[in-house]
Amino acid sequence: MDPTQITLVQAHAMLRSRQISARELTTAFLERIARINPIINAFITVDGEGAMAAARMADERLAQGTATPMTGIPVGVKDLFCTQHLTTTCGSKMLARFRPPYESTVTRKLKEAGAVILGKTNMDEFAMGSSNETSWFGPVRNPWDIRRIPGGSSGGSAAALAARLALATIGSDTGGSIRQPAALTGTTGLKPTYGRISRFGMIAFASSLDQAGPMAWSAADAAMVLQVIAGHDAMDSTSIRDDVPDYSAHLSTRMEGLRIGIPAEYHPESLNPEIGQALDEAGRVFGALGATLVPVSLPHTRHAIPTYYIIAPAEASSNLARFDGVRFGHRCQDPVDLKDMYTRTRSEGFGAEVKRRIMLGTYVLSSGYYDAYYRKAQKVRRLIADDFHQAFQKVDLLLTPTTPGTAFPLGEKIDDPVAMYLSDLFTINVNLAGLPGISIPCGSDSQGLPIGMQLIAPILKEAPLLSAAHAFQTATSWHQRKPEL
Amino acid sequence: MANDPLYETIIGLEVHAQMLTRSKIFCGCSTTFGAEANTQICPVCAAFPGVLPVLNRELVQMAIKTGLAVHGTIRERSEFARKNYFYPDLPAGYQISQFELPIIERGELTLDLESGEKKRIGITRIHMEVDAGKSLHEGIQGASWIDLNRTGTPLLEIVSEPDLRSSREAGAYLKKLRSILRYLQVCDGNMEEGSFRCDANVSVRRRGDTRLGTRTELKNLNSIRNVMRAIDFEADRQIDLLESGGTIVQETRLWDANLNTSRSMRGKEEAHDYRYFPEPDLPPLVITRERIDAVARQLPELPDAKAIRFSRELGLSEYDAGVLTSSREMASFFEETVQQGAHPKTAANWITVELLGRLNREGLEIEQSAVTPRRLGRLIGLIQSGDISGKIAKQVFELMFETEADPERIVAERGLKQVSDTGAIEAAVDKVLAENPTQVQQYREGKTKVAGFLVGQVMKATRGKANPAAVNAILQAKLSG
């Protein structure tokens, strides 16, 4: 048996019954990474030594009976979660050698639960991108077709999973950065409610939208990871105080009485027809499981992308001001004065997409433009959130495609920012409204590339969301398809 | 001129007061002044990637206190905002402040003008914000050093309406505001160390005009005296400019206290575009009525209320009441003195005349006084009990100041206790009358003024210790007998 081909749920059972040790499991994954990562570039940093040390501790806990469901589970973490003493690059030259003196809350909780962190996964620079081509450390390749992109910005986390380089990974999602790559790699990716997981130690892109989340091979696996990383954190004033339910215990295969809304606005003409067909088929599966499909409308949907591309760059332009070469990160050689140091440090340290968004954000916040752009965008954001609120009066969940198309070839959209931004057409609204959303595999196109669908739930309804995804995965096998590598 | 009959000076002040919280505004670092550079910092105040601010609750309490003390409206919902600009001592590249929704709006202060009038000065707003670090340029070749210890120190920015009309009013406003902050124990008010800073917005207009003139902003004013001098200089500069046909340019000017002049720092065109927007890392701050009421119940008695009580209940003149409440230290000195049994009016006199006179000569503040309120109270007690005369008391006071000894000890050691024993006084009077037959004769012939000379002789003979009232009575009786 190849231990890299089992699920997290299975691995936990085997660890607990001592059929496999954490060291054996970790070794298997490290070996697989050594073989496959050079092809797909999913990891920026592999921490073999740290992983083996964590695996030894996990074995002790398993022996002592103090293990948690995550003890000994090898995971990958997107490289924007600060890990103490382990390089955290955020996919940028700016932080290529940055070793944080502190630990993000997400990785601290993973470590405390006994998870084994294999390394830091590749990503679009500062999480800005939808194809993982903006990474300073090179693009990530889609394990389904290495000439294609895996999606972004959590492209490394998605590709690592699809290539079976970890049992689960952690991503972050500001406008679709977990769900879009999950869809394009045939994996399961959950963006929880804004504030459900602490943002402390997660390098900020757009603070009012950023949210960490689990990526896994199934909803059941994702539930186990979410269980560990969710919860209030005194270090993050925007984290939610509500108790964390037992997500695994809430998983059910029954959907009787569940009403699933199909928003009319999510089936535009630009939608790949194969994705449309896959969604129709998924609807039939839900119907067979007992759910009722209800047509709904989210009338402000078409404003999502312009709204997002005002708010997110505005926050980013401010969040990225701290990368000035004074205290950490890249600093240009021999600056002649302060302005020279700022200009060259930032010109050299940031890539083109990051610069584009800093300029966009600076512009929309500028005196005389604030009311026309930023303030108006905040109003539209409220209207978008109200749309969802209205819809959830009638239905329990919403079902939409995750992406308008399947994985596209490297280089196809990198020089056309608007085409690239449209990749997040169906995911961005969920961030603007702060809702939980999950992408799960629901088909494949004529070229065999995965198709993902998105389920959206009301605030803090991660448990029914995961349960619906689990029910679907119990009835289908799309999530079990594996790319040939 | 600043007091030009043709022109009126319009002044608004922005005060930055460092709050005396134990820890910084958004992290647990200490706020102690004067520590070695960059020893009081952490990833949060040094703005490392991914860290987040957590608001200091103590600061909110202090802001509410201050708002209540100046009769401001405390917003039920206020909001933090980012003020974006690049500077090496501003680690995040933005200052977390409050912009559209400050915690406090519409307050006021009442000034007691020298004319005896009271003047109400509006306070537009008070908001919370974070202080920046310090850049050090002096004595360093080809580089600047950054000290981030001060980064994250909480500030209240207190913005007045343009209600002030002279440098004197500006000075009085700052003294009053500083006194209130000290009463509340939220700020130490130390302008030299920068824990109480002031920028002044100044414009002039012809008397009778209703429109405001173009204003300039004055910075680098590190004492109340400098604030006043800089305002006078600026008003004169603006009037001269207008009189010679020029126009005022909106700009920020830096005061140079050594040269007694100001120079342009940046014009309107070079003004920063701060790109304010709501701080997404902090939820809106909600303050309940209950919380405000709880703070209100703990509010100390403030100078205005204290002054009214001192004059109504303790019978002090309004002037004395004003002087004795001008600072928290002064008021508690007075109150502790009275607690020792000293009559309030006598205590007020001793403090405002003898004590403040002496302290002024020595250049000391009341909290540095060698004579404690307990000792001063007991000294006054010795006068009230007739143990020493007022005159001797002044002598004892000076000795107390120099030796820091108790008044009783000084009186005993130096044999200054007043003689009220009629036998001893009679003997001294008899001796003086016998030695001065001419003056006795003159008195008896109707020149009663010589009695003063004779009293003086008795006092001299007793080395001032005789009870003057007793000397007078006995002398009168003997001369008339």
ipTM for the predicted complex comes to: 0.95
Cβ A43 vs Cβ A120: under 8 Å: yes
Q: Collect all residues of chain B within an 8 Å Cβ-Cβ radius of residue A98.
A: 49
pLDDT at B3: 65
- To the nearest 10 degrees (0 to 180), the angle between helices A8-16 and A22-40 is 150
Contact assignment for B93 to A321 by CB distance below 8 Å: yes
How far is residue B109's CA from residue A89's CA, in Å, rounded to a whole number?
53
Kindly indicate the confidence band of residue B420, based on its pLDDT and cuts at 50, 70 and 90.
Answer: low
Q: List the beta strands (DSSP E) in B100-213.
A: 104-112, 118-130, 134-136, 145-147, 154-160, 196-206
Per the annotation, the verdict on A379 as an active-site residue is: no
Q: Minimal Cα distance from A208: which residue of B?
A: B280
Per the annotation, the verdict on A252 as an active-site residue is: no
pLDDT at B103: 98
Q: Which amino acid is at B203?
A: S
Length of chain B: 481
Check the CA dihedral B470-B471-B477-B480 and report its sign.
negative
- CATH for A3-256? 3.90.1300.10
Question: What's A86's DSSP letter?
Answer: B
Q: Collect all residues of chain B within an 8 Å Cβ-Cβ radius of residue A367.
A: 273, 275
Segment A229-233 shows an average pLDDT of: 98
Reply yes or no on whether the pLDDT at B194 is more than 60.
yes
Q: Does A365 touch chain B (CB under 8 A)?
A: yes
Q: Minimal Cα distance from A374: which residue of B?
A: B277
A87 min Cα distance to partner chain B (Å) = 13
Reply yes or no on whether the pLDDT at B400 is more than 90.
no
Lowest mean pLDDT among A59-68, A253-262, B356-365: B356-365
pLDDT at B243: 92
Reply yes or no on whether the pLDDT at B269 is more than 90.
no
Number of CB pairs < 8 Å for A and B? 105
Kindly indicate the confidence band of residue A281, based on its pLDDT and cuts at 50, 70 and 90.
Answer: very high
Reply yes or no on whether the pLDDT at B232 is more than 70.
yes
In chain B, pLDDT over 70 holds for what percent of residues?
98
Per the annotation, the verdict on A120 as an active-site residue is: no
Beta bridge partners of A252: none
Q: Collect all residues of chain B within an 8 Å Cβ-Cβ radius of residue A362.
A: 275
Question: What's B11's DSSP letter?
Answer: E
Q: Collect all residues of chain A within an 8 Å Cβ-Cβ radius of residue B146.
A: 326
Question: What's A371's DSSP letter?
Answer: I
Which one of B146, B275, B282 has the shortest CB-CB distance to A326? B146
Catalytic residue among A92, A154, A172, A177: A177
Q: Where are the domains of chain A?
A: 3-256
B29 min Cα distance to partner chain A (Å) = 14
Segment B323-330 shows an average pLDDT of: 89
Q: What is the pLDDT of residues B425-449, one digit of tens each?
A: 888 888 888 888 888 888 888 887 8
Determine whether domain B422-480 maps to CATH 1.10.10.410: yes
How far is residue B325's CA from residue B89's CA, in Å, rounded to a whole number?
39
Q: Where are the domains of chain B?
A: 7-293, 301-413, 422-480
A246 min Cα distance to partner chain B (Å) = 27
Segment B109-123 shows an average pLDDT of: 90
pLDDT at A268: 85
Reply yes or no on whether the pLDDT at B266 is more than 90.
no
Q: List the beta strands (DSSP E) in A87-210.
A: 116-121, 168-173, 188-191
The pair phi, psi for residue A330, each rounded to 5°, is -65, 140
Lowest mean pLDDT among A193-207, A296-310, B142-156, B367-381: B367-381
Peptide bond into A153 cis (omega under 30): yes
Q: Collect all residues of chain B within an 8 Å Cβ-Cβ radius of residue A208.
A: 280
